[in-house]
Amino acid sequence: MCGIVGYFGKRPARDFLLEGLKRLEYRGYDSAGMAVLQNHKSKLAVTKSVGKVVNLENKLKQNFNGFLGIAHTRWATHGKPSEKNAHPHTDCGGNVAVVHNGIIENYRELKEMLKKRGHKFRSETDTEVIAHLLEEEMSVSGGKNISFEEAFVKTLKQLNGTYGVVAISSKNPDMMLAARLSSPLVLGIGLGEIFVASDVSAMVGDVKRVVYLDDKEIAIIKKDGYVVKTLSNRKQEKEEHTLEWDKAAAERGGYPHFMLKEIFEQPKSFADALRGRLLIKEGRARLGGLQAVEKRLRNINRIIIVSCGTSYHSGLVGEYMLEEYAGIPTEVEMASEFRYRKPLLDKKTAVLAISQSGETADTLAAIREAKEKGALTLGIVNVVGSTIARETDAGVYCHAGPEIAVASTKAFTSQLAILALLALYLGRQRELSFVMGERIARELNRIPEYMEKILARAKDIKKLAKKYAKQKHYMYLGRKYNFPNALEGALKIKEIAYVPAQGYPTGEMKHGPIALIDQSVMSVIIALKDSVYEKNLSGIEEILARGGKVLAVATEGDSVIAKKATDIIFIPKTLEMLSSLLAIIPLQLFAYFVAVERGCDIDKPKNLAKSVTVE
Ligand code: M6R
């Protein structure tokens, strides 16, 4: 969604702001803007443009030469994409500029009140009220002069809704102010320079130390330091986290798209997820992030996984793993639904949030609800220090590195790695035998090698994608561990190639969806040599009997399916519980190459945002 960057330091702000905006482009946006406090003039220069950041870059004039500035990529909510609606927004006098993520719910009332007091509005946005409120507070406030910081706090206290907001003022050239309520903001601490952004990816390579703001905190940022306070003026001691990601991880590195790079990174990201956690000879897993709650975990008798999108699909695989190997009843719920049910939770329930970004509003709300009800909350999160990582009682990081493409790929397989480790960890705390534990551990260790084998066949998958590029409708099918992959394969082709696709458990076909099957529908079926092989085979027969086409993902050496399917992609044999880790890769590649054939903007698909921080 929208992206915020801010800079105060010794370098020209414009350079970092542009670079930061470009790094946030992957989040999806429709317009961009920048405000910089000009050197020696104490005036704000503001420029905005519709469309890509490069349009803004081309418009920026020489007067953008200060050391303090803010910038934004906007995703339209209130008012259409246009220059006047793009951020930063300024007050009547042009002395204050603000960028904002989130939604100000009471903006209409505030706008009316401000208009009555003579303020002139230029945009249709909710954000603009923040700039005018700041102006109002600084100039009016009972006739006394109050500081920028005080005015900022007074302004924030009048807002209902959510915000990640950063403000600068030409009358206060020595500071930048930032605050958060349910919309992430992170400070990057450099030497003699401070960065602020809504997403750490904006500052990868520029800083090594970062500080995550919590809700209802404000940061008073000076060139060479910062102070964090609560809205009630209590100074906060903030932990500084080390940012492990390097610049190369956030660049395309020769690949045409981030998505392809991230698909090919999977053998490495998977190995990174296992690193130091797999004790093969002991047939168990060591998960440092769960140490603090180890005893409580021994007593849990139920797990509820809450997540969205791709992370929901990994949760569904996790459900099979946790029930089969840890013996713990597990349910998976879309986080957006969880909070509107009346979840029955107790102290023996663990609610596990899975999230790549760690900032998904629905997942965060579900975790807060679970905490409120006394459940143990756990996280499987990729972004270190993100809100979900901080708000859960304990958790395990994926260590997949930055995932830039909107379509999630390597985060999915890293989440599966952690779920397999979790099943091993909890299973060995319970009844899982050493022999089975060791088998799982050994096979987990071989997964990167199998992944490499599949990736080496990318050219064959590309040929298939060319053949089916014009296909108008897909049905993705699978059973048991590969039913979630059917959902995930369908999601991938929908989100990046814009082809209607449905994911179903193969067994559900006969209860309705089979009515759709004819020559125009392509069924992609994951039919591996596993416990549901025969069932999937019957599914293939049913489709073929109705004139449908079948692209099968099958186990190497399966000559039976090879004779039946219209086309086939082979993957190496592994344990059934780990097969989703391999079967998903051809589906990711297929969706990617179909999208290339169809000329789609793969890393920035239309209407989508990388991290969904609003409900
Ligand atoms: O950051 P999260 O894992 O919480 O994000 C959840 C979904 O928004 C995300 O997986 C989304 O479905 C992706 N576009 C899938 O490719």
- Ligand 1 contact, 355 CB (< 6 A): yes
Over 80: is that where the pLDDT of 28 sits? no
pLDDT digit string (tens) for 3-16? 999 999 999 999 99
Return the pLDDT at 343.
84
Q: For 189-199, how does the pLDDT look when each residue is reduced to its tens digit (9 = 90+)? A: 999 999 999 98
Of 262, 332, 360, which is best to mutate to test ligand 1, by the most ligand atoms within 8 angstroms of its C-beta? 360
Residue 574 confidence (pLDDT) above 50 = yes
CA–CA distance, 175 with 66 (Å, rounded to integer)? 13
- In ligand 1, the atom with minimum distance to the C-alpha of 357 is 1
- Give the H or E element holding residue 260: helix 258-264
Q: In this structure, which amino acid lies at residue 455?
A: L
Query: Residue 201 Cα, ligand 1 centroid: separation in angstroms?
Result: 16
Regarding the beta carbon of 335 and ligand 1, being less than 6 Å apart is answered no
Phi, psi of 504 (to 5 degrees): -140, 155
Nearest Cα residue to atom 12 of ligand 1: 309
Residue whose CB lies within 8 A of the most ligand 1 atoms, among 364, 612, 614, for a mutation test: 612
Q: In CATH, what class is 252-453?
A: alpha beta
> Residues 302-311: pLDDT tens digits?
999 999 999 9
Distance 313 CA to ligand 1 centre (A): 10
Question: Does residue 524 have its Cβ closer than 6 Å to ligand 1?
Answer: no
* pLDDT bracket for residue 64 (50, 70, 90): confident
Q: Answer whether residue 551 shows pLDDT above 90.
A: yes
Q: Is the CB of 310 under 6 A from ligand 1?
A: yes
Report CA(294)–ligand 1 centroid distance (Å): 29
> In which band, very low, low, confident or very high, does the pLDDT at 204 lie, cut at 50, 70 and 90?
confident
In this structure, the residue with its CA closest to atom 14 of ligand 1 is: 407
- The catalytically annotated residue of 2, 308, 398, 600 is 2
Percent residues over pLDDT 90 in the chain: 81
**10 a catalytic residue:** no
Centre of ligand 1 to C-alpha 586, Å, is 19
Distance 533 CA to ligand 1 centre (A): 30
CA distances from 413 to 244, 315, 319, 578 (A): 20, 11, 15, 10
State the burial class of residue 262 (Cβ atoms within 10 Å of its Cβ: 0-12, 13-18, 19+).
buried
State residue 392's pLDDT score: 96
Q: Identify the CATH assignment for 458-597 out of 3.40.50.300, 3.30.470.20, 3.40.50.10490, 3.40.50.620.
A: 3.40.50.10490
State the average pLDDT over residues 373-378.
Answer: 95
pLDDT digits (tens, 9 = 90+) for 265-307: 999 999 999 999 999 999 999 999 999 999 999 999 999 999 9
Taking the CA of residue 611 as reference, the ligand 1 atom at the shortest distance is 1
Q: Is 155 in the pocket of ligand 1 (CB under 6 A)?
A: no
Which atom of ligand 1 is found nearest the CA of 310?
10
CA of 592 to the centre of ligand 1 (A): 17
CA nearest 41: which of 6, 68, 11?
Answer: 68
* C-alpha of residue 355 to centroid of ligand 1, in Å: 7
- 229 is an active site residue: no
Contact 477, 505 (CB under 8 A): yes
Q: Summarize pLDDT for 507-520 with one digit per residue, the tens.
A: 998 899 888 999 89
Beta bridge partners of 254: none
Structural domain spans, the chain: 3-249, 252-453, 458-597
pLDDT by residue (tens digit) across 378-416?
999 999 888 999 999 999 999 999 999 999 999 999 999
Beta bridge partners of 307: 334
- Most ligand 1 atoms within 8 A of CB, residue of 262, 308, 314 to mutate: 308
- Closest atom of ligand 1 to 492 CA is 16
pLDDT category at 143 given cuts 50, 70, 90 is very low
Using pLDDT thresholds of 50, 70 and 90, give the confidence band for residue 145.
low
206 lines ligand 1 (CB under 6 A): no
The β-bridge relationship of strands 284-285 and 302-307 is: unpaired
Q: Is the pLDDT of residue 56 over 80?
A: yes
Nearest alpha-carbon partner for 223 in 20, 67, 337, 379: 67
Does ligand 1 lie within 6 Å of residue 579's CB atom? no
The minimum-distance atom of ligand 1 relative to the CA of 408 is: 16
Ligand 1 pocket check for 490: Cβ under 6 Å? no
pLDDT value at residue 141: 54
Tens-digit pLDDT profile for residues 101-124: 999 999 999 999 999 999 999 999
CATH architecture, range 3-249 = 4-Layer Sandwich (3.60)
Cite the beta strand spans of 14-95 per DSSP E.
31-37, 44-50, 68-74, 89-90
CA of 333 to the centre of ligand 1 (A): 14
Predicted pLDDT at 321: 98
- Summarize the confidence of residues 447-467 as an average pLDDT: 97
Does residue 387's CB lie within 6 angstroms of at least one atom of ligand 1?
no
Atom of ligand 1 nearest to the CA of 407: 16
252-453 and 458-597 have identical folds: yes
Q: Is 95 in the pocket of ligand 1 (CB under 6 A)?
A: no
d(CA 475, CA 489): 10
Give nearest CA residue, ligand 1 atom 7: 309
Ligand 1 center–CA 34 separation, angstroms: 28
Q: Is the peptide bond before 12 cis (omega within 30 degrees of 0)?
A: no
Tell me the CA–centroid distance for residue 46 and ligand 1, in Å.
33
**Choosing from 22, 261, 549, 610, which is the catalytic residue?**
610
The secondary structure element, H or E, covering residue 278 is strand 278-279
Per-residue pLDDT of 224-266, as tens digits, reads 899 999 999 999 999 999 888 877 777 788 899 999 999 999 9
Beta-carbon neighbour count of residue 87 at 10 Å?
31
* Residue percentage of the chain with pLDDT more than 70: 98
Q: How confident is the model at residue 140 (pLDDT cuts 50, 70, 90)?
A: low
pLDDT exceeds cutoff 50 at 534: yes
Mean pLDDT of the residues in the chain? 93
Gap from CA of 546 to ligand 1 centroid (Å):
35
Residue 596: partners with Cβ closer than 8 Å, 6 or more residues away: 256, 465, 602
Say whether pLDDT at 219 is over 70: yes
Q: Is 336 in the pocket of ligand 1 (CB under 6 A)?
A: no
Q: Full-prediction pTM beyond 0.85?
A: no
Measured between its terminal Cα atoms, the distance across the chain in Å is 12
Task: Tell me, using a 6 A CB cutoff, whether residue 308 lines ligand 1.
Answer: yes
Assess whether the C-beta atom of 471 lies below 6 angstroms from ligand 1: no
